[in-house]
Amino acid sequence: MATIEVDGTSYEVDGDRNLLDACLGLGLDLPYFCWHPTLGSVGSCRQCAVRVYANAEDTRGRLVMSCMTPVTDGQRLSIRDPESQAFRDKSIEVTMANHPHDCPVCEEGGECHLQDMTIMSRHTERRYRGLKKTYTNQYLGPCISHEMNRCIACYRCVRFYNDYAGGKDLAVLASKENVYFGRHEDGCLESGFSGNLVEVCPTGVFTDKTLSRSYNRKWDLQSAPSICSSCSLGCNISPGERQGRIKRIVNRYHHDINGYFICDRGRFGYDYTNADQRIQHCSIRQSADVTEEAPDYRDAINAIAVELAGAATGGNLIAIGSDRLSVEANFALQTLVDEDNFYSGMDPVQHQLLQSVLGIYRRPGIHAPTLREIESADAVLILGEDLVNSAPRMALSVRQATRNLSFELARKSQIPLWQDTSVRNLAQDRRSPLMILSVAGTDLDAIASLRLSAAADDIARLGFAVARCLSDRAPAVPNLSPDLESTAAGIADCLLRAKNPVIISGTSCNTPSVVESAAQVAMALSLAKSNGQIRPSWLSYVLPAANSLGLAMLQEGNDDNHLERAMQRVLANPGQCTALILQNDLYARAEPSRVDAFFGNLKSCIVLDQQPNRTTDRANILVPTQTDFETEGTLVNNEGRAQRYFEVFATDNPSLRDNWKTIANMAKAWVNPGTGQGLPESLLALARCENFDDLIALLKNRGGLFGHWDRAAPNAAFRIAGLKIPRMPHRYSGRTSLRANIRVAEAKQPEDRDSPLGFTMEGAPINIPGALTPGFWSPGWNSGESLNKFQDEINGHLKGGDPGLRLLQSPAATDMSAATSSDWFSVPAATPTAANGRLLAVSLPRLFDGEVLSALSPALAQRAELPQLEIHPETAAAVGLVEGHIATIRLESCQLKLPLRFNPRVASGLVAVPADVKTAGILPPVLLPAAVTIE
Amino acid sequence: MSSITANILNVVGILVFVVASAAMLTWVERRMLGIWQERYGPNRVGPFGILQVAADMIKLLMKEDWVPPFADRFVFVVAPTIAMFVVVAAYAVIPMAPGIGVIDLNIGLLFFLAMTSLSAYSVMFGAYASDNKYALLGGLRAAAQMLSYEVFLGLSLMGVVMLAGTFNLREIVLAQQEQWFVIPQFLAMLLFFIAGIAESHRTPFDLPEAEHELTAGFHTEYSGMKFGMFFIGEYVSVLLTASMMVVLFFGGWLGPVLPPLVWFLLKTSILVLLMILIRGALPRPRYDQLMAFGWKVMLPLAMINLVVTGVLVLV
Amino acid sequence: MSQIGRAVYLTWDYTWSTLRTLWDVASHTFAKRDTVEYPDEMPYLAPRHRGRIVLTRDPEGNERCVACNLCAVACPTDCISLQKTEDETGRWYPEYFRINFSRCVYCGLCEEACPTYAIQLTPDFEMAEYNRQNMVYEKEHLLISGPGKYPDYSFYQVSGKAVSGRAKGEGLNEAKPVNVKSLLP
């Protein structure tokens, strides 16, 4: 710590920071452009000048750029002295000389850092009368607009895109005052993190094209704290809504998870909620071809209740949950049909995988690291996971983790870590070790110290071998080639030498041995590193969906209820069962012919879903559900953190109710006609749930992992100064005119009885708990940079506390020497080499079209590559296939035709099948890996 | 014409005349204020807007007769009736001309004083019954103000009584044949005029209903014809004050050439116009200033006037 | 004694000022009336009178409004709402533009906020309706065919944004676009 004196007031600040960082952290207003909390300082914009005095007697001082000046103890500086103010005014005048007069038609206007800083620097009048520089713009794809005229050459975009996110196709072109930030030619920005340019750019060079289609200013967008449900990481987001449509998503800072950045799938994948094709009304199908469209919601619920009551008395009621929906919705369903009749909707392998992940996370010696912790790791081992596609934000963290060596070097050379260019120059290409074992290569391979492609079981065997190298007590791996033996030894050595190694694996391979081998490595590592005191190893799993772990928790102890069990039960009692399916397209979950058989043998099928799909086509009663933007719930992310998301806006469609509420209404309708005699108490309790907090209280009563469920976020009674937290910005416009064309008398604002947020602009947006912060704004700071007013220090925790509740805390250090052989996982056999035209098909996760809902967004669909089968050229030669050939894969009844592409990074003997939504409908990825015929 | 018919004609005629001219006064006042403020005032309904009164009346009658649910219903209804009744009753003793006047009481002056004192009740009842903070504050102010100003209202008249040697108003008028009492009793005239304005709580002494502070003071909760009664009552009391001054200080109906009634009406009109002019010109004092003015200036002056008059009469 | 003197002075002063006030007010009796007897006589309304709001066009006849939303946010009664859309050349314009005149207070802040002189208040105030719903004006009711009070201004001429008929560098005071491929210093 150091003490600095700013304009006569003394403050305690962190001595490792620069002056700008320290001042902003103290809540002082100091303009800046090129500095960014995570991108460090480059000192190019000259906007953060302050006057620093040499000592207590010095009255003249000197101007310095605060972002390039380290904090020293006893430093005296002035932000407000006239000379530095005048300097900043002149500086921004020059910066603005060529800036176009297009704020009214700029998407950044109203949340523009340049606007804010211009006002803050008190530059109010333009004196430059010369010609203004202009640039031609580029087409940068369906997500990002480009308007180079607005550029102030802060270099933030390339520093983020290239240096931070590892992008290759954005560069600084030309020279001198002609510098141009763009691609070498028109074309879509390739990086999966390009959307962050929108927030990184301090002005409107890069703007959100999906927002621009039907643009609204920041002050007109209603927001609520939300959680991205496009992958299992649980990034915090802030969606903006106007007139019933989600207009855009911006990052919502979470210290431990997403920090300042989210991936493009999360940012641009919201359009499914606005889709015209969405299911808007209930429908009841009396017979095969007669559909009663749009019955009243009540009628549909009553019809369902009759079905449920009938089926339940015969013991023929089953329900299938969804790993994409909230814990509460699944819990309500589970309570409705009773635990034994509730099935996860996952195939047995995936179901077991998740149960074992849950078990592994709770073992001693294992700690599920946050993304922030992964960033601090100095050695990373990835087992069978293509992070860029399956958990993109984690890939970004892993990329930062490889920089820890450069920080180490910088510390040795006494270079401050925020001296970004210096640190990068010092390290050059030296990186912390990143070891990637994958089936078909990954986009992180370029920065990996070790990359190896192999079939899933072979990856697992190598993992087990590493574990064996780390600890003699782990079982040995038979029949391992000497090459792999030495690789394993190398990995083990690397992990042992690292201070904070992290092991990352996941369910993408759909192979239990991979998950187990990662756990084995972690356990062996804990043992190897234990020094009397156990230090848990960091082990992170990437999971299939946003709430996979939450669903696994709900089924803990009843862990055999997967989709296959449900199907068996239906097929054993043909024409008897009634199934209640909660937002889950079963055709992507099991072999389609088997799903057909399942539906064919049902007595009645009730489906709750938001988008039409093949499962909803089979529904006898269909009830629309709300998207995550329209309801509230809790998701459990891959590290076991329960995070609550809230309704962004209230729909005015009477058939669209909260998912949990619809299920509770079913319970109510079921209980009401009778007296409730003979019905289980839990069902009666569900029927009594009037609001979200009632349901949470029920869930809390389950105890165990759910014992503190209500702590994930404050309940609906929470108030600040007697008022709810406003979802609307305080200057939300058009209240008396938005709906005036329908009815000139203003309607009452919708009430929200389920959360402490209101559909209003009333309420003071101050001291809001982190979990309830809809977005960031502070007086004078209209852009996202206002975040610094909400952090306890720059890049630190939110003042209101980090959102979410870690359910899986690493157990207290126990003596691992007690570990018995039963604690170790057994080693699988090696994958046999391909023979007689059969290859092992594996599934490859896809970033833009790999997730069922976000893939519906036109912007993402446009960015997705065409699905192709990937194969190693030698393997192809062995089975006699040529590149570009439309190959046919057959697996059981599935038949998939896709063009073939050679990719030398695919392990030999494998054919990689893309897991995009379309392909998954033909060949569900859960069936893979499996030996297939290909021709 | 029998005396009964004459009496009935007198009673009915005067009642109708008083109420009608009070109503007319509302129009006169608005026109005059308009003129002094370089506006027109109400000039749309009928010639010169003279039917504005009728229009207002119709409006007031058509309005919902609303009694707030929290009000003390009986008192609420009675209060405006009292307001109207006492001022009209007081008018009974005014001798307008020989043979014109309701009653010729030999204690006419005391009757007038009694009736004006009673009007304090209407305000207080109305204020109390409304159960409204503005009304209550207005009522409190009215009670204190009327009590204070009544003291020298009465005292200022005693000089006239001494000079005339009677409480009978008709005889007081006749006692002025030589000389109007305004000359020997100029100070008393001023005191009475000021007190009269205060008694009818008109600007600048309208603190009980000061709009800027108390919405509408004691009649905040009143609407429709009940409000109309308070409203007309105020104008009757304006008329009453002016008539009393004419009777007591300006020789009543006495005057050359013109018929007595015309003289009386002419003198009354001039005084009414003066009261309207005062409303148009003078600002409202602060409440403490009002009380101090009453007790510390007016009362001593009334005493001095009484003593001096007494001494002069005795000498 | 001076106290008595002061009392006498004050008495005189107050009395005199009261009488003078009465005289001043009474002297207005025969002054000229200020009232204009609308509607018998139509008053003169200055061009800058704040009445009915219109949307104007630029000298080229295109809609001036670029749907920047500044009028909507400046509006103290929140009675303006609009939605941005753009044509195929990137020119912004409002998809709909709605003013709820039953809420409008004619404060003119929208006109002050407008960066393109699109929204202007006109000297017309006779907008009363028997049905409040008729007070809601849409773009077709608001848009006029001329430029209103500012005949010459055209926003896209100075914005630096490329729209139809005006590529980069063709606006007022603009240099030709930078040639990124040039190596000249």
Domain that holds residue C69: 53-158
With a cut of 80, say whether residue A549 has pLDDT above it. Answer: yes
Which pLDDT tens digit goes with each residue over B51-76? 888 888 888 888 888 888 888 888 88
Quickly state the pLDDT bin for A291 (edges 50, 70, 90).
Answer: low
Question: Chains A/C: 3 or more C-beta pairs closer than 8 A?
Answer: yes
Q: Which amino acid is present at A338?
A: D
**Other CB atoms within 10 Å distance of the CB of residue A162:** 16
Which pLDDT tens digit goes with each residue over A369-380? 999 999 999 999
Whether residue A252 is found in the same domain as residue A311: no
Chain Cα centroid distance, residue A71: 35
Angle at CA of residue A395, ends A394 and A399, nearest 5°: 115
Q: How many Å lie between the alpha carbon of C99 and the closest alpha carbon of chain A?
A: 6
**A659 vs A578: CA distance, rounded Å:** 19
Nearest to C175 among A104, A132, A176 (CB): A132
Give the chain C residue whose CA is nearest to the CA of B278: C22
**A696 vs A884: CA distance, rounded Å:** 54
Query: Is the residue at C142 inside a domain?
Result: yes
pLDDT of residue A479: 87
Q: Which chains touch A (3 or more CB pairs under 8 A)?
A: C
By DSSP bridging, strand A869-871 and strand A894-902 are parallel
What letters, b where the CB count within 10 A reaches 16 and e where it falls short, cover C39-53?
eeeeeeeeeebbebb
Nearest to A737 among C99, C161, C181 (CB): C99
Whether residue A566 is found in the same domain as residue A515: no
Query: Is the residue at A103 inside a domain?
Result: no
Question: Chains A/B: 3 or more C-beta pairs closer than 8 A?
Answer: no
Query: Is the residue at C152 inside a domain?
Result: yes
Which pLDDT tens digit goes with each residue over B192-217? 998 888 888 887 888 777 777 787 77
Query: Is the residue at C108 inside a domain?
Result: yes
pLDDT of residue A814: 57
Note whether C176 contacts A134, CB cutoff 8 Å: yes
Determine what percent of chain A is predicted with pLDDT higher than 90: 79
Domain that holds residue A888: 838-934
With a cut of 60, say whether residue A819 has pLDDT above it. Answer: no
By DSSP bridging, strand A9-13 and strand A2-6 are antiparallel
Give the best residue of B29, B33, B38 to mutate against chain C (max C CB count within 10 A): B38
Domain boundaries, chain B: 64-314
Quickly state the pLDDT bin for B19 (edges 50, 70, 90).
Answer: confident
Query: Is the residue at A818 inside a domain?
Result: no
Within 8 A of A182 by CB-CB distance, chain C residues are 180
Note whether C178 contacts A134, CB cutoff 8 Å: yes
Query: Is the residue at C172 inside a domain?
Result: no
pLDDT of residue A185: 92
Task: Evaluate whether A743 touches A759 at the Cβ level (below 8 Å).
Answer: no
Give the best residue of C15, C18, C25 to mutate against chain B (max B CB count within 10 A): C25
Nearest to C22 among B35, B37, B277 (CB): B277
Whether residue A266 is found in the same domain as residue A337: no
State residue A126 phi and psi, 5-degree precision: -90, 130
Q: Does C37 touch chain B (CB under 8 A)?
A: yes
**B205 vs B150: CA distance, rounded Å:** 13
- E strand or H helix at A5, and its extent? strand A2-6
With a cut of 90, say whether residue A928 has pLDDT above it. Answer: no
With a cut of 70, say whether residue C180 has pLDDT above it. Answer: yes
Within 8 A of A732 by CB-CB distance, chain C residues are 78
Note whether C24 contacts B281, CB cutoff 8 Å: yes
User: Which CATH number goes with the domain that contains A43?
Assistant: 3.10.20.740
Whether residue A180 is found in the same domain as residue A198: yes
pLDDT of residue A205: 96
Whether residue A135 is found in the same domain as residue A20: no
Whether residue A647 is found in the same domain as residue A717: yes
Query: Is the residue at C148 inside a domain?
Result: yes
Q: In total, how many domains does chain A have? A: 5
Give the chain C residue whose CA is nearest to the CA of A731: C73
Give the chain A residue whose CA is nearest to the CA of C158: A101
Dihedral sign of CA atoms C57, C59, C64, C70 in order? negative
CA distances (Å), origin B13, targets B4, B92, B99, B105: 13, 11, 13, 19
Name the token pair of A323. Answer: 């790993």
Query: Span A430-449, mean pLDDT?
Result: 94
Whether residue A502 is found in the same domain as residue A650: no
Top pLDDT among B70 and A699 is at: A699
Task: Evaluate whether A30 touches A48 at the Cβ level (below 8 Å).
Answer: yes
Q: How many Å lie between the alpha carbon of A295 and the closest alpha carbon of chain C?
A: 32
Q: Is C57 helix (H, G, I), strand (E, B) or coil?
A: strand
Whether residue A215 is found in the same domain as residue A292: no
Give the best residue of A112, A733, A738, A749 to mutate against chain C (max C CB count within 10 A): A733
Angle at CA of residue B175, ends B174 and B177, nearest 5°: 70
**A575 vs A596: CA distance, rounded Å:** 13
pLDDT of residue A445: 92
With a cut of 70, say whether residue A602 has pLDDT above it. Answer: yes
Within 8 A of C73 by CB-CB distance, chain A residues are 110, 217, 219-220, 731, 733
pLDDT of residue A600: 92
**B105 vs B195: CA distance, rounded Å:** 23
pLDDT of residue B232: 84
Give the chain C residue whose CA is nearest to the CA of B204: C18
pLDDT of residue A507: 94
Nearest to C80 among A130, A136, A734 (CB): A734
pLDDT of residue A818: 54
pLDDT of residue B160: 86
Query: Is the residue at C23 inside a domain?
Result: no
pLDDT of residue A836: 65
Q: In total, how many domains does chain C have? A: 1
Whether residue A606 is found in the same domain as residue A645: yes
Quickly state the pLDDT bin for A811 (edges 50, 70, 90).
Answer: low
Quickly state the pLDDT bin for C1 (edges 50, 70, 90).
Answer: low
Task: Evaluate whether A311 touches A317 at the Cβ level (below 8 Å).
Answer: yes
Determine what percent of chain B is predicted with pLDDT higher than 90: 4
Query: Is the residue at C107 inside a domain?
Result: yes
Note whether C28 contacts B36, CB cutoff 8 Å: yes
User: Which CATH number goes with the domain that contains A692?
Assistant: 3.40.50.740
Task: Evaluate whether A4 touches A10 at the Cβ level (below 8 Å).
Answer: yes
Determine what percent of chain C is predicted with pLDDT higher than 70: 99
Question: Chains B/C: 3 or more C-beta pairs closer than 8 A?
Answer: yes
Which pLDDT tens digit goes with each residue over B258-270? 888 898 899 999 9
Where does a domain end: A37, A71, A96?
A: A96
Within 8 A of C38 by CB-CB distance, chain B residues are none
Within 8 A of C101 by CB-CB distance, chain A residues are none
Query: Is the residue at A317 inside a domain?
Result: yes
Task: Evaluate whether A879 touches A840 at the Cβ level (below 8 Å).
Answer: no
pLDDT of residue A66: 95
Query: Is the residue at A737 inside a domain?
Result: yes
User: Which CATH number goes with the domain that contains C86?
Assistant: 3.30.70.3270
Query: Is the residue at A311 inside a domain?
Result: yes
Q: How many Å lie between the alpha carbon of B32 and the closest alpha carbon of chain C?
A: 8
Note whether A136 contacts C168, CB cutoff 8 Å: yes
Cis amide bond preceding A544, omega within 30 = no
Note whether B278 contacts C22, CB cutoff 8 Å: yes
Least confident of A358-362, A479-483, A676-680, B157-161: A676-680
Q: How many Å lie between the alpha carbon of C123 and the closest alpha carbon of chain B?
A: 24
pLDDT of residue B2: 66
Note whether B36 contacts C34, CB cutoff 8 Å: no
pLDDT of residue B166: 87
Give the chain A residue whose CA is nearest to the CA of C160: A100
Within 8 A of A100 by CB-CB distance, chain C residues are 159-161
3-state secondary structure B191-205: HHHHHHHHHCCCCCC
Whether residue A570 is found in the same domain as residue A712: yes
Q: How many Å lie between the alpha carbon of C180 and the closest alpha carbon of chain A?
A: 5
Task: Evaluate whether A221 touches A248 at the Cβ level (below 8 Å).
Answer: yes
